[in-house]
Chain A
Amino acid sequence: MGCILGTLLVCLIAGYYVQATVNQLQQTHHSFNDRQLRNGYVAMSDVQRLVLVLQEAHGQREITPDARERFQSAADFLFVRTDTFRRVQISSGYMQSADDAISALQYVQVLADQAVETDFENLEFLATELTERAQVARQALVTFLDEMRRFQDQLLLKQSVAVAKQRNVIWVTLLGLSLLGIAATLLLRREVTANLARHAAEARVKHLAFFDPLTGLPNRVQFQDRLFDLVAQGDSRGLMLVDLDGFKQVNDTYGHAAGDRVLQHVAATLGEIAQPHGGLAARLGGDEFAIIMPSEDPQFLTHTCRAIIEAVDQPVIYEGEALRVAVSIGVAADMQADCDGLMRAADFALYASKSSGKGQFTFYDGLLEEQLIQRRRMIEELPTAIDDGSVSFFLQPKVDLGTACAFGFEALARWQRDGEIVPPSQFISVAEESGLIADLDCRLLQDSTRVMAEFNRKNGTTFSVSVNFSAVHFTSLKFAKVVQAALESSGLPPHLLTIEITETVEMQDWARAKEVISMIHALGARISIDDFGTGFSSLAYLRKTVADEIKIDRSLVADIETSDPSRFLLDAVLDIAAHLELDVVVEGVETRAQADIIRSMGAYRAQGYYFGKPAPYSEVLERALEQQIQLQDKSA
């Protein structure tokens, strides 16, 4: 806008000066009266023509008809010339020398006309007088012409000055227009640049509104829009929800950059598989992805799921490390369902896949949903159940193989729900998922130590109790205080409490775990490694500083009656434990034969259905007390 106004202003000023110069030039041209100059010169010629004719006649003492005619013509010429001279002079403005010249010419004209009227009767007088008057006229004309020339010189000078000014105006105008042009160009460029930046930002915002910036896949918004369209049009569609398995470990171990690289790998894989079939792969957030396929054919969707799981399983190389993740997939393909219904169904299926382990895919069906609904109900009810005592514990005896009598018990959580006992396999994972496992374990610790202490005090027994704790407890120093509080409130001697740890992959901060274990040891309680011999335990834990006891997993005992390798393996573990002075409890003993074999191999303690199933604690304790009394009676 400023440049436009500036350009208009410059053009206006330039136009004003140009017009002023043109006016001046026109005025100069008007004043440059070359006609009048010519009139002056021609008038002089006309006068001379008269003088010549009359002097010729005077010399010859007579005037010939031809001379008379020439004189008449010359007089006519002079008349017309003087008339023209006078008319032009009147229109040009007052000029004294012009008036003088015209008067002188008229004075000659009068004499010439007088000569014609008198028929040239006094040639001598006429010649003399005409010569004198012609001389006066010539002088007047010379004066006039000199003045005209000076005047015209001045006009030419003014014209030159005007042209020079015009040149300056043109230069200034061109300079001004150039500066304005440069300014306009710069402003235009800035405006264009700003526009481009704004458009880029808008495109970026638009892209961010519909695409995930990390992977470039459509985001949740675009995914939902597409799903809504497909559902609204009634087109065939199969919805897959894809969730990464073990992504947290990648992030924690290798950092978020590695995690991002994995996400990009998965996104690229999903995109490559979905797009050729007209499908849409999207990132819903975190490590959650989704695919909409334009088909609900189970065979096709199954093939697609397998292709995804296989492709994602390929390792991602990041800074020399081969990273590997798996995906779980939930599939829903119900033509009757709306968007929310499809999402919910796929979510159920995904949940089922996650529960089944890594790299699984599950198709939604009604039974699955029923199970999951039940599971969710349990999640909702569990906090109340813990508070109101619905979650209690059973005891399973740990026996001395020498006497077949219980020396202690393992406390196992049970949930009295709707008149049925819910086993831990169904609700422990629910507790872990809902974050209630800590509350559950602590409640179990408090209740079991309290019951055991009261029973021992009442009956003069020294039964011990073992309580299982999730590995997550060993990441917090507060756990030792929880154990201390349970011991103090119950009054159970610390050596009668055994904390059983099941080593898992989540228990990564081993240094912190050892610190917690040391604090428990300091309280006087014992530590037992549960399920020894399964995947996550190792010989590294068979140290006195870590454990006081190991519980050999039932898998090493199951076929001990028929398998030499099993017996050899169990024997080796028992031998190592004996050398490390660790107590050993063999789990899963279900038959007399198994009990005899492990005893023959040097085991002293065992646990299993053969010696007693988990049962309500009062029942189990009473039976153990009876056994002990019977044993004492026998001894007596």
Chain B
Amino acid sequence: MAAVLMFSSVKADTLRPIELDPIDHHEAELVIVGTDGEELRYSPVLLEGLQTYRITTTTPWRAEPADFDGVLLTDLLRRSGLETIGELRVTAENEFSAVLPRALWETVPVLVATRVNGQALTRRERGPIQFIIPSEEFEASPVASEAHLVWMAARIEPK
């Protein structure tokens, strides 16, 4: 609910809480490194143990809107005490990395998605863990860029 309030300017139908039934996920792991160096490791199942949300949106690789389910980046960061950090470095399984400024998750909803259209994200669908921003907010934001839509996300750490 806190996350919803934080993005009060976001359209109601772009981010909404959702209860997810358990499904089989592809093997993957998201490591979150706290400011003290402590690592929290999340599988898709563990991620979905948090409050989950759905975003229906297009992406640069999807012409048609799809339902993305997952958790909010802000919730994850709060759990690791990183919500007030200035910048984050997010690294993908293929060694791609991107730097996310704090203004990004404070102004647009960043969903750490584990499912698309009710199915677990495959790697060929840029999963199993993918950062999603609703297209309207993405287009309107002066901060967001395509590099922030990290796919095959594997690690989050302070920059």
User: A residues engaging B (CB < 8 A)?
Assistant: 35, 42, 46, 73, 76-77, 79-81, 83-84, 87
Contact between chains at A42 and B61 (CB < 8 Å): no
Chain B residues within an 8 Å CB radius of A76:
122-124
B6, chain A: closest CB distance, angstroms? 31
Chain B residues within an 8 Å CB radius of A80:
123-124, 126, 151-152
Chain B residues within an 8 Å CB radius of A87:
60-61
Q: Cα distance A84–B59 when bound, in Å?
A: 12
Apart from A76-B122, A83-B61, A84-B61, what 10 extra A-B contacts exist at CB < 8 Å?
Answer: A42-B96, A77-B93, A77-B94, A77-B123, A77-B152, A79-B123, A80-B152, A81-B94, A83-B124, A87-B60
A-B contact pairs, 17 of them (CB 8 A): A35-B146, A42-B94, A42-B96, A73-B93, A73-B123, A76-B123, A77-B93, A77-B94, A77-B123, A77-B152, A79-B123, A79-B124, A80-B124, A80-B151, A83-B61, A84-B61, A87-B60
Write out, one digit per residue, whether chain B residues 99-131 have a CB within 8 A of any chain A CB (1) or not (0). 000000000000000000000001110100000
Chain A residues within an 8 Å CB radius of B61:
83-84, 87
* CB-based closest 4 A-B pairs: A76-B123, A77-B94, A79-B124, A76-B124
Interface centre among A76, A81, A84, A87 (most CB of B within 10 A): A76
Q: Cα distance A76–B50 when bound, in Å?
A: 28
Chain B residues within an 8 Å CB radius of A83:
61, 124
B24, chain A: closest CB distance, angstroms? 17
Which chain A residue has the least Cβ–Cβ distance from B96? A42
Q: Cα distance A77–B94 when bound, in Å?
A: 7
- Please report which residues of chain B, range 58-110, place their CB below 8 angstroms from some CB of chain A when the two chains form the complex: 60-61, 93-94, 96
Chain A residues within an 8 Å CB radius of B126:
80
Which chain A residue has the least Cβ–Cβ distance from B60? A87
Chain A residues within an 8 Å CB radius of B60:
87
Q: Cα distance A79–B123 when bound, in Å?
A: 9
Chain A residues within an 8 Å CB radius of B124:
76, 79-80, 83
Which chain A residue has the least Cβ–Cβ distance from B122? A76
Which chain A residue has the least Cβ–Cβ distance from B151? A80
Which chain B residue has the least Cβ–Cβ distance from A76? B123
**Chain B interfacial residues counted at CB < 8 A:** 12
Q: Cα distance A79–B94 when bound, in Å?
A: 12
Chain A residues within an 8 Å CB radius of B151:
80
Chain B residues within an 8 Å CB radius of A84:
61
Q: Cα distance A35–B146 when bound, in Å?
A: 10
Q: Cα distance A84–B124 when bound, in Å?
A: 11
Chain A residues within an 8 Å CB radius of B122:
76
A633, chain B: closest CB distance, angstroms? 151
Q: Cα distance A76–B93 when bound, in Å?
A: 11
Q: Cα distance A80–B152 when bound, in Å?
A: 10
B91, chain A: closest CB distance, angstroms? 14
Q: Cα distance A158–B126 when bound, in Å?
A: 36
Q: Cα distance A83–B60 when bound, in Å?
A: 11
B115, chain A: closest CB distance, angstroms? 17
A366, chain B: closest CB distance, angstroms? 101
Chain A residues within an 8 Å CB radius of B94:
42, 46, 77, 81
A256, chain B: closest CB distance, angstroms? 86
Chain B residues within an 8 Å CB radius of A42:
94, 96
Q: Cα distance A608–B122 when bound, in Å?
A: 160
Q: Cα distance A76–B60 when bound, in Å?
A: 18
Q: Cα distance A179–B133 when bound, in Å?
A: 52
Q: Cα distance A79–B122 when bound, in Å?
A: 12
Q: Cα distance A76–B123 when bound, in Å?
A: 6
A116, chain B: closest CB distance, angstroms? 12
A431, chain B: closest CB distance, angstroms? 109
A359, chain B: closest CB distance, angstroms? 97
Chain A residues within an 8 Å CB radius of B146:
35
B54, chain A: closest CB distance, angstroms? 23
Which chain B residue has the least Cβ–Cβ distance from A83? B61
Chain B residues within an 8 Å CB radius of A73:
93, 123
Chain B residues within an 8 Å CB radius of A77:
93-94, 123, 152
Chain B residues within an 8 Å CB radius of A79:
123-124
Q: Cα distance A47–B32 when bound, in Å?
A: 29
Q: Cα distance A77–B60 when bound, in Å?
A: 17
Q: Cα distance A83–B125 when bound, in Å?
A: 10
Q: Cα distance A76–B96 when bound, in Å?
A: 14
Q: Cα distance A80–B60 when bound, in Å?
A: 13
B127, chain A: closest CB distance, angstroms? 10
Q: Cα distance A42–B94 when bound, in Å?
A: 9
Chain A residues within an 8 Å CB radius of B152:
77, 80
Q: Cα distance A87–B124 when bound, in Å?
A: 14
A72, chain B: closest CB distance, angstroms? 8
Q: Cα distance A81–B126 when bound, in Å?
A: 10
Chain A residues within an 8 Å CB radius of B96:
42
Interface centre among A73, A77, A81, A83 (most CB of B within 10 A): A77
Q: Cα distance A35–B96 when bound, in Å?
A: 12
Chain A residues within an 8 Å CB radius of B93:
73, 77
Interface centre among A42, A46, A80, A84 (most CB of B within 10 A): A80
Q: Cα distance A73–B61 when bound, in Å?
A: 20
Q: Cα distance A77–B154 when bound, in Å?
A: 14
Chain A residues within an 8 Å CB radius of B123:
73, 76-77, 79-80
A74, chain B: closest CB distance, angstroms? 9
Write out, one digit per residue, whether chain B residues 21-33 have a CB within 8 A of any chain A CB (1) or not (0). 0000000000000
Q: Cα distance A37–B33 when bound, in Å?
A: 31
Which chain B residue has the least Cβ–Cβ distance from A84? B61
Which chain A residue has the least Cβ–Cβ distance from B123? A76
Q: Cα distance A83–B123 when bound, in Å?
A: 12
A368, chain B: closest CB distance, angstroms? 100
B60, chain A: closest CB distance, angstroms? 7
B133, chain A: closest CB distance, angstroms? 17
Q: Cα distance A73–B96 when bound, in Å?
A: 14
Q: Cα distance A73–B93 when bound, in Å?
A: 9
A343, chain B: closest CB distance, angstroms? 86
A117, chain B: closest CB distance, angstroms? 14
Which chain A residue has the least Cβ–Cβ distance from B26? A76
Q: Cα distance A80–B150 when bound, in Å?
A: 12
Q: Cα distance A80–B151 when bound, in Å?
A: 10
Q: Cα distance A73–B123 when bound, in Å?
A: 8
A424, chain B: closest CB distance, angstroms? 116
Q: Cα distance A46–B95 when bound, in Å?
A: 11
Interface centre among B93, B94, B123 (most CB of A within 10 A): B94
B80, chain A: closest CB distance, angstroms? 26
Q: Cα distance A569–B61 when bound, in Å?
A: 146
B85, chain A: closest CB distance, angstroms? 26
B61, chain A: closest CB distance, angstroms? 6
Q: Cα distance A141–B124 when bound, in Å?
A: 22
Chain B residues within an 8 Å CB radius of A81:
94
Q: Cα distance A7–B152 when bound, in Å?
A: 56
Q: Cα distance A420–B61 when bound, in Å?
A: 138
Interface centre among B93, B124, B146, B151 (most CB of A within 10 A): B124
